[in-house]
Each structure stands twice: as structure tokens, then as C-alpha cells.
Amino acid sequence: MQKKLLTLAVAGALAAPGAALAQVEVYGFISVAVNKFKYSEGTGGTPSVSKWDVSSHGSNYGVRGRESLGGGQTAWFQIEQNAPMERSNNVAITPASRNTAVGLQGAWGNFFIGQWTTPWADLESLWSIGSVGGYSPSLSIIGRRETTGTAPNPNCVNNQSSGGFFAPGVAAAGLVCDAVEAAGGAGHPFWRRISQSVFYYSPVFGGAQVKVAYQTNEGKATQGTIADPSMWSAAVQWSGMGGRARIGAAFDAHKEFTTAGQTDKGWTVKGGYNFGVVDLGLAYETMTYKIVGGDVDATQWGLALAFPIGQGAVRASYAVADDLETPAGTTDTGAKMWTLGYDHRLSKRTQVGFGYAIIKNDTAAGFTWTGAPPAQGGAINNPSPGSDPSTFFVSVIHRF
């Protein structure tokens, strides 16, 4: 991929002949689709709605730079923000809202601080090869979608439901922090980008690498909802056989994110194998959220396929979110997702695609995609419980 490189002298280097220069790179990712979108009738008779939409899926731009410090050591930084591309009334451009950090790298590994995707989230690339135009199980069925910025913790009250499936009073106390699932998501998504955090990536040994992240307890509170939230995320991943085989496993522990004095935990395994005629990806993840009165267990799994055809590929995926298991029993909160499409590479930087995607929500579920148009109410993007979002789309992706 061609990049525009801006080579700048570090201020001190101007007075030091022979000193290394810092390289600063401007980059970006633009993903836009035209959709014929539909929300089916929801639980309780919420009317269906069909509409046209132009959507943006994870578009971003940023600046990053590296400076050689000598002795094999490198200093680096990155500042990245979202690029909504449309619907600016709903999605504002927030500087440094995406992967943003400063770090040091050498033969010993990579250490950095700031805001970044978790080691858990980094495993998505190992299996999610069935996506076209941003319509993917990732951030929808698998990972239960993304929450960026300051991570949810017991001090936030951003849940859009009136209690969901938690014990009475939990939401009112500010302990339900899932702003995405609206009508009953569990706690918070384990997939996400975490802020105020410290990261370490090991060197790659024999195709294997270890990643560890710790989110500090910045949200500690001694008044109101008393809590001391922090989290760990760790993963090990391996690729080999010329890159055809890849697999990774991750474990997360989120202390006092849902209930004070309790730690939510989860683990996942994701990977795939490229047989040449078809690339196969598989994912499995499970989480346990600690609530007042017991546990909420969530399990998701997915399958992805890519069949190469010339300069493109037919891509398909299928994913399932099982019903949440709560102290009161199993809830009707599951969902299934199908995608099928084709993308074609016009160049190393530009590709176009088309396809169809649908999520079948159970009566109390409200899964959807990042970048989906406003739902039945015309304001929020989350569908009414039980409503099934679907779309025919044509997409364009460009990298610079």
C-alpha cells in the first residue's frame, strides 16, 4: 500500500549533524456503502421500516511517526481519529478517539501507553475473513460490538434500557454500562479499545507472540457508587505454514466493571486456515458478568469463508449469540447473523463490493452493525427488541 511519507527533522536534530530523522506518516482508511436497509417489525408490534442509507464503517485517519534512537531502539507515536463520512449530526469527529499511543520498541518487544484495541480484540483479524463492506460478525454478534473512549465501569450510567435482565435496581444504581445492546446487553462488551492503559507486545518467536494490556484504575471512586475498576487483557497468537495457518487465544479479567467487589472474566479462541481454494475462519468466545444475585453468562461463535476469484473473493459468514443465562434463567436474547458478498480489488488501495447481510434477533435482542442507519424511531441506531436489521449494499474501500 502506497503511503505519503513526510520526513521531518526532530527539533534537536537541526543542531546535531548526522542525527537520525523522524519519519511521520499520514494515513487513513475510508469505508463507505450505499444500502437498501430494513428493520423488520419488533417485539410488541414496533412497525417495520425500509430506507436508503449511505453508511461509513470504521473510517479513520491519523498521523504516526518513528524515530531511531540507536542500538536497535525506536520511539514511535500514533494519533488516530474517526472519520464519520456521513450523518455528522449523529457522529462527531473526536480527535485521538481511536488507536492513539506513544511507545518504545526494540529486540525486547514493544512497550506503549495510551488508548488501543485490547489483545482480545486483536485476534479478530485471525478469523474474520468473511466481511464485505463493513458488514461482519465482528462488532455485532462476535465481541458484542465496540465501546471506545473511557472504558465502561460501575460509575457510568450509559445503558439505554430500564434494567435489562439484571437484578432489580442494578441499572438504576449505575452498574449497567452497555450502551450498545440497549434492551438488555450484559455488562459491557469484551471487544473494545481501552483508554488510560499500558501495553506490552513480545517479539515474535517462531511465529508466536504474546500481548498484554492493563487498564489503570482511573475510575476509582470513594463516593456515590464506590468501586475500584481496572482490567487485564492477555493473548497469545501464532501463524505458520507460510501464513496459511493462524490461531490465537485470549483471556480478559475486568475488575468491578459490572458489580463492586466482583470481576467479570472471559476467554476466546479464534483462528483459521487457508486451503488455497478457500480460506476458513472460526471463532468462539464466552464471558461471565458478575451481577447482584449471581452470574450472567454469554457465549458467541462464528464461521467465516472466503473463496478467491481472480482479483476478488466471494465472502460469507455465519455467527450466533446464544441466549444470555442469568440467575433468573435463560433469556430470549440470542441472535443469528448471515452475510454473503463479493469484493474486487481495483488496486492495492481500492476495492469495491456488494452483498447482503441480515441479523435475526430473538424477541428481547437488539443486535445491529456499527454504522447502521437510525432505527424505527429515526434517532437512535439500535433496533427495537426483536427487530431484524438487513441490508443490500454496494461498498467502496480506499486506503491511503
Map grid coordinates 486451503 to a residue: 275
* Gap between the Cα atoms of 119 and 23, Å rounded: 27
Mean pLDDT calculated for residue range 124-132:
93
* CATH number at 4-399: 2.40.160.10
pLDDT digits 0-9 by tens, 217-250:
887 878 766 778 888 999 999 999 998 999 999 9
Q: How many CA atoms lie within 13 A of 248 on its CB side?
A: 26
pLDDT digits 0-9 by tens, 186-209:
445 676 788 889 999 999 999 999
pLDDT (0 to 100) of residue 184: 34
Given CA atoms 127, 83, 213, 150 in this order, what sign does their dihedral have? negative
Map grid coordinates 468501586 to a residue: 227
Q: How many CA atoms lie within 13 A of 129 on its CB side?
A: 21
pLDDT (0 to 100) of residue 144: 63
More confident site: 316 or 190? 316
Average pLDDT value for the chain: 82
pLDDT of residue 171 exceeding 70, the answer is no
pLDDT (0 to 100) of residue 258: 73
* Gap between the Cα atoms of 136 and 31, Å rounded: 13
SS3 13: helix
For residue 12, the cross-strand partners are none
Mean pLDDT calculated for residue range 340-352:
96
More confident site: 142 or 211? 211
pLDDT digits 0-9 by tens, 27-73:
999 999 999 999 999 888 889 999 999 988 889 999 999 999 999 99
C-alpha cell at 277: 481454494
CB 153 within 8 A of CB 177: yes
Q: What is the pTM of this model?
A: 0.85
pLDDT band at 91 (very low <50, low <70, confident <90, very high): low
SS3 325: strand
Q: Hey, how many other C-beta atoms are within 10 angstroms of the C-beta on 15?
A: 8
CB 323 within 8 A of CB 301: no
pLDDT digits 0-9 by tens, 269-309:
999 999 999 999 999 999 888 877 788 888 999 999 999 99
What percentage of residues in the chain have a pLDDT greater than 90?
Answer: 52
- What are the C-alpha distances in Å from 328 to residues 92, 176, 300, 334? 39, 17, 20, 16
